Amino acid sequence: MRRYNINFGKITEGKFEFAPNPLVIGGRNYSTNDTELFRQEGYYPIRYSERPERNGYYYTAVYAQEGETIVQTWEEHVIPSEIEEDGA
């Protein structure tokens, strides 16, 4: 099973990914939160935000790079009702 360090991430070709744990550099394993080591491999600290709550909606996390930080925001989606799905 693959493990991740959820304190760091990167965006490659529009896709977000968490940093691996351990971080492998030059064939050596590093189990650390050293920001400089992660930056060397293209991973940046993640700034998390609180997930909103609203009846009738669900949220998915969206990640974007802002300078040397990955910022989490939330995309809101309407929960479809059973009536709408049946077309009645």
Give the mean pLDDT per block of 10 residues along the chain (88 residues): 94 96 94 94 98 96 97 96 59
Secondary structure E strands in 21-56: 23-25, 28-30, 44-47
User: Are the C-beta atoms of residues 75 and 49 closer than 8 Å to each other?
Assistant: no
For 10-33, give one letter per residue: b (16+ CB within 10 A) or e.
Answer: beeeeebebbbbebeeeeeebeee
For the question of whether the overall pTM of this predicted structure is more than 0.75, the answer is yes
Alpha helices (runs of H) in the chain, residue ranges in sequence order: 35-40, 82-86
Per-residue model confidence (pLDDT) at position 85: 54
Range of the domain at 56: 4-86
Give the containing element (helix H, strand E) for 7.
strand 4-12
Rounded alpha-carbon distances, angstroms, from residue 17 to 11, 42, 66, 77, 80: 6, 11, 15, 22, 29
Q: How many separate domains does the chain show?
A: 1
